[in-house]
Chain A
Amino acid sequence: MKPASQSAPAGAAKPRLTTSAMIASIASEGQRTKPAPFGHALNALASADARIVGMTADLGKYTDLHIFAQAHPDRFYQMGMAEQLLFGAASGLASEGFTPFCTTYAVFASRRAYDFIHQTIAEEDRNVKIACALPGLTSGYGPSHQATEDLALFRAMPNMVVIDPCDALDIEQAVPAMAAHQGPVYMRLLRGQVPLVLDEYGYTFELGKAKLLRDGYEVLFISSGIMTMRALEAAKALEADRIDVGVLHVPTIKPLDTQALLDACAKPGRLVIVAENHTVNGGLGEAVAGLLMREGVHPAFRMIGLPDEFLAAGALPTLHDRYGISTEALCTQVRAWLK
């Protein structure tokens, strides 16, 4: 038997380091989760609808589309690491009567393949569904994988419906809603072990609808995506400070549920805070601000979002604290604004 090398690092004894890994779960420790809600919801949908096909650009495993590929191998198209081809071919399949669900990372759909989605899918109004992982700051890998401007880009595209789901429940209910909508849809995707939160609030996803998850007379969070989960956690934490916080979840970024937003913002004396996992440029915050300005509704108004800069690589909890989108950071900002 060989003696153990004297120079080998005693890895097991070392504390676990934080990581700038590409893939990291956004579920906090001990949080309830559901595995691969997108893949399973797509399977259920595909069993009832022969038009559904799945397509990816070498990221099936990392977008939960492998669940679909295993169940429906003859309806799965591996397009290789070629996002322009992915979306152009999806347009072609849609024009022949199929309903392609395409997956890649949000950075690649929004940045690399934008013109293909714009011209071959949105302009031609093709029935293509786009589901993209690593939205906003959900990767510690650095700007190459941090899709901090995808909502702004897809909001700006005519014909495109834009969804930013919060949790596993949102995703599994959004999938059939995407298919039921005739036309192109972009959805931000959470994959792997996805937090399950909204079932505690009697919530159901409806395309184009905002939902009030809890009411509060002092502060109203308007949020989408994982920021709704954070806002709910912050609302609970702020109970200790006797701050009464409501949360309006806006999973459909486009078209906006303007009536629900105006009604919620017209309530007097409430601080409105839009919280989004996205650059403050052109996302939900500016969409809501523009709506309120146009309609003459003027609550006290703040925005929480990612700064207009290339974000750092690092562990997600570190980065969420640094850029102000962790639950703790939300609480700190609310307390400061109410002083």
Chain B
Amino acid sequence: MSTASIGHNLSLERRAWNIRRHALLMGEVQGQGYIAQALDIADVLATAYFHAMTFRPDDPYWEGRDRFLLSNGHYAIALYAALIEAGIIPEEELETYGSDESRLPMSGMASYTPGMEMSGGSLGLGLSIAVGKGLGLKRKGSHSRVYTLFSDGELDEGSVWEAIMSAAHFKLDNLIAIVDVNNQQADGPSTTVMAFEPLTDKLEAFGWFVQRVDGNDLAAVRDAFDAAKAQMGSGKPSMIIADTLMGKGVPFLEAREKNHFIRVEANEWQLALAALDERKPS
């Protein structure tokens, strides 16, 4: 159960919508950002922060919190949006996104932002850190969990598989990893850059508890987090493979030709916000 105090009665649909809106506002500040990824992962982040994880907004490094590691540091715009929604970062700070002296640089770094537990940017780091944190929490007898989000392109990195193998070896049932399969990486569709399917079979063969869900179906994502959390005691780490749609929630961005870094014209930010506003949940 989340201990977030702000708007504690809001639905997950509304949380996800708020996260998308915060992200669009940040994107507008700089006229750029990995906005298509932020929109695709908003449902996963809403569920992580407002259904699955325990934390204290006024004490982001409270020892009893669940840890969240953003391995794909370029998704920082999405995590900042979630941290704003969670009350860890003040909402007015989104106006500083990507600016000099801001606590919200375009790539997520641990030393800049409250609630950012690792420095990303270089891909494939998060799972290894998560293994160490999982081992550390078990050493301390803590019941907290480690969550880590990474992207399908990171599956190309050998270090990711080192960590996947070791998490099963160390029986890290306090580790829940989420891989965002939006099938886009820098040079094109992830599955053509380097074939990673059948991903479920591979991960199961590595000894993980694996679920594959539509990452934009909130009910399915919520059930997946619940099942992953129930693995505590099983000795198995959990992987949630979240198939997502880039630009989700803003139809003209959903329809735009898929690209790792989609172009949004200056006049389109307001159009995107308007399109989102039309779909505001109760």
Using CB atoms and an 8 Å cutoff, list the residues of chain A in contact with chain B: 53, 77, 79-80, 82, 84-85, 87-98, 100, 115-116, 119-120, 123-125
Which chain A positions have C-beta within 8 A of B110? 123-124
What are 22 A-B contacts with C-beta separation under 8 Å? A80-B169, A82-B159, A82-B162, A85-B163, A88-B132, A92-B132, A92-B133, A92-B136, A95-B133, A96-B132, A96-B137, A97-B136, A116-B125, A119-B121, A119-B122, A120-B118, A120-B125, A120-B129, A123-B111, A124-B110, A124-B111, A124-B119
A88 x B125 contact (CB < 8 A): yes
Query: B148 CB to closest chain A CB, in angstroms?
Result: 10
For the complex, is B134 an interface residue (Cβ under 8 Å from A)? yes
* Known contacts A123-B119, A124-B110; is-contact A88 B133 (Cβ 8 Å): no
Select one of B122, B128, B158, B165 contacting A92, CB under 8 A: B128
Which chain B positions have C-beta within 8 A of A92? 128-136
For the complex, is B109 an interface residue (Cβ under 8 Å from A)? yes
Which chain A positions have C-beta within 8 A of B136? 92-93, 95-98
Which chain A positions have C-beta within 8 A of B158? 84
Select one of A89, A115, A123 contacting B131, CB under 8 A: A89
A90 x B132 contact (CB < 8 A): yes
Query: Which residues B127-174 have CB closer than 8 A to chain A?
Result: 127-137, 139-140, 158-159, 162-163, 165-166, 169
Which chain B positions have C-beta within 8 A of A80? 162, 165-166, 169
- Interface size of B in residues (CB-CB distance below 8 Å): 30
Select one of B111, B119, B132 contacting A93, CB under 8 A: B132
Query: B165 CB to closest chain A CB, in angstroms?
Result: 7
Which chain B positions have C-beta within 8 A of A120? 118-119, 125, 128-129
* Known contacts A85-B166, A116-B125, A123-B109; is-contact A96 B118 (Cβ 8 Å): no
| Cα of A115 to Cα of B134 in the assembled complex, Å | 22
Query: B154 CB to closest chain A CB, in angstroms?
Result: 13
| Cα of A123 to Cα of B136 in the assembled complex, Å | 20
Using CB atoms and an 8 Å cutoff, list the residues of chain B in contact with chain A: 109-111, 117-119, 121-122, 124-125, 127-137, 139-140, 158-159, 162-163, 165-166, 169
Query: B135 CB to closest chain A CB, in angstroms?
Result: 6
Query: B51 CB to closest chain A CB, in angstroms?
Result: 24
A79 x B109 contact (CB < 8 A): no
Measured CB to CB, the nearest residue on chain A to B124 is A84
Query: A157 CB to closest chain B CB, in angstroms?
Result: 14
B129 x A88 contact (CB < 8 A): yes
| Cα of A92 to Cα of B137 in the assembled complex, Å | 10
Main secondary structure of the interface of A (DSSP, over half): helix
3 tightest CB-CB pairs across the interface, nearest first? A92-B132, A88-B128, A96-B136
Query: A158 CB to closest chain B CB, in angstroms?
Result: 12
Query: B136 CB to closest chain A CB, in angstroms?
Result: 3
* Known contacts A89-B131, A92-B130; is-contact A82 B140 (Cβ 8 Å): no
| Cα of A82 to Cα of B119 in the assembled complex, Å | 21
Measured CB to CB, the nearest residue on chain B to A82 is B162
Which chain A positions have C-beta within 8 A of B165? 80, 82
Which chain B positions have C-beta within 8 A of A90? 132
| Cα of A180 to Cα of B170 in the assembled complex, Å | 29
Select one of A95, A97, A116, A123 contacting B128, CB under 8 A: A116
B140 x A115 contact (CB < 8 A): no
A89 x B140 contact (CB < 8 A): no
A115 x B133 contact (CB < 8 A): no
Which chain B positions have C-beta within 8 A of A94? 132
Select one of B130, B159, B166 contacting A116, CB under 8 A: B159
Query: A282 CB to closest chain B CB, in angstroms?
Result: 22
* Known contacts A84-B128, A85-B159, A89-B131; is-contact A125 B122 (Cβ 8 Å): no
Which chain A positions have C-beta within 8 A of B130? 92
Which chain B positions have C-beta within 8 A of A125? 111
Query: A237 CB to closest chain B CB, in angstroms?
Result: 48
Which chain A positions have C-beta within 8 A of B139? 53, 93, 96, 98
Select one of A82, A93, A100 contacting B166, CB under 8 A: A82
Query: B98 CB to closest chain A CB, in angstroms?
Result: 19
Which chain A positions have C-beta within 8 A of B140? 96-97
**Given A53-B139, A85-B128, A89-B163, list of 16 further CB < 8 A pairs?**
A77-B135, A80-B165, A84-B158, A85-B159, A88-B129, A89-B135, A92-B131, A93-B139, A94-B132, A100-B132, A116-B125, A119-B121, A120-B119, A120-B128, A123-B109, A125-B111
